[in-house]
Structure 1
């Protein structure tokens, strides 16, 4: 049995990759800091590095690090980083490395001791392979935190969101809330899609609508927070 994390927090997953998980996670970290809490972002695995000022780094990890009010190193935010931008298990194989599941749990627990609020961002969608035995859903299950689903608003999002919610529920986890993030600015019938998500996710799982984020010229944490529901966030992080 994995011991509970020392800090309050949530696990942020998405309907797919590139749907805004990192931006939403950064906004949640900023909100936690605004409450006077030491906030820490944690991304167990990151795939895709770029060179900035002579240093190899991952943009998502940098975003979480900058949004955290606790002072963290890249390695504390993300214990496993890989060069290739692909599925974590494949990226690890390309480098002859293995993503050790227990090391991920230990890193999260160590970070939770330094924070009052921990926002853990998953990798891609909810069930992404990490190694031969484990996937990201196993990781969320081990942490046991309430789950926030970022729904990429584009054609097909209803199916993707409901399948993900079903998978979260099947793992015995609480889908606490969801955020609709605009991926396709030209998507037709957005309000009808949002209304369907509100009804289905609330009726079936008790998941609260935390907000709808439009396309923003500067998707910084403060800009995203203007589109999230403070009352919903208070319930999310209540202990």
Structure 2
């Protein structure tokens, strides 16, 4: 089994897009796959229960298929920080709970398993624990998704420092272009963009697994397949 924890520089950095793209790419290479999102807020109420679009996207790229509750055992409706949504729902998971619910899926030892966090590295799980603690407890190498926008250099460097300070290796990083209105067609914009990427490559000291362009007007599955075209699997795959 090859498993990684996927985190981002911030909320909406593109964790799910990158994770689903990596899973789609692994499937192209004939590998079994599994994407987990143990805790998710911002879920929709459906006849089958609460469903989160990010978790559904990961489920669609998991092969062989698995039940939704395996992908996302802790689902909350309010689109707020997970620990606040959990308090509101009266169902507050602990780190031990998350380790327990991920034990069986990880034991399947699929070719590639990704566990996606929520928000950034230091997002709280409850009043005393962070979601990052799950990656630490499981000893997983981390893939960092950098939302490419103004301020991303600081966010990326601080996140990488925090990951390493917690004793985990940074297996690689992916840049995801999210800044609206920037196409980098003009010479000045292109130069700034390339300089930012060069700074990230130097300061993160980890392999760049790809740069994903802005992908719009696509279904989540189509976006995953398109993202896969711009990604590379981590080295030991």
Regarding TM over 0.5, the answer is: yes
Instruction: State the distance in 2 between where 1:211 and 1:8 align.
Output: 19
Give CA-to-partner distance per residue, 1:157-215, whole Å, 9 cap, x none. 0000000000001000001110010111434422111111011112xxxx101111111
Matches for 1:154-173 after TM superposition, within 5 Å: 154-173=149-168
Deviation at 1:144, TM superposition (A): 1.2
Secondary structure in 1 aligned to 2:132?
Answer: helix
1:186 is aligned to: 181
Secondary structure in 2 aligned to 1:118?
Answer: strand
Instruction: State the distance in 2 between where 1:209 and 1:96 align.
Output: 40
Deviates more, 1:184-193 or 1:122-131: 184-193
Matches for 1:5-154 after TM superposition, within 5 Å: 7-51=1-45, 56-114=50-108, 115-154=110-149
Q: CA RMSD in A?
A: 1.6
Deviation at 1:102, TM superposition (A): 1.4
Deviation at 1:100, TM superposition (A): 2.6
Deviation at 1:33, TM superposition (A): 1.9
Deviation at 1:52, TM superposition (A): 5.2
Secondary structure in 2 aligned to 1:123?
Answer: strand
Deviates more, 1:105-114 or 1:163-172: 105-114
Instruction: State the distance in 2 between where 1:40 and 1:81 align.
Output: 18
1:215 is aligned to: 214
The number of residue pairs the alignment matches comes to: 224
Q: Structure 1 stretches of 5 or more lacking a match? A: 1-6
Instruction: State the distance in 2 between where 1:92 and 1:61 align.
Output: 17
Instruction: State the distance in 2 between where 1:146 and 1:109 align.
Output: 17
2:228 is aligned to: 225
Asked whether the 8 Å contact 2:209–2:234 carries over to 1, the reply is no
Deviation at 1:133, TM superposition (A): 2.1
Q: Structure 2 stretches of 5 or more lacking a match? A: 183-188
Secondary structure in 1 aligned to 2:118?
Answer: coil
Secondary structure in 2 aligned to 1:89?
Answer: helix
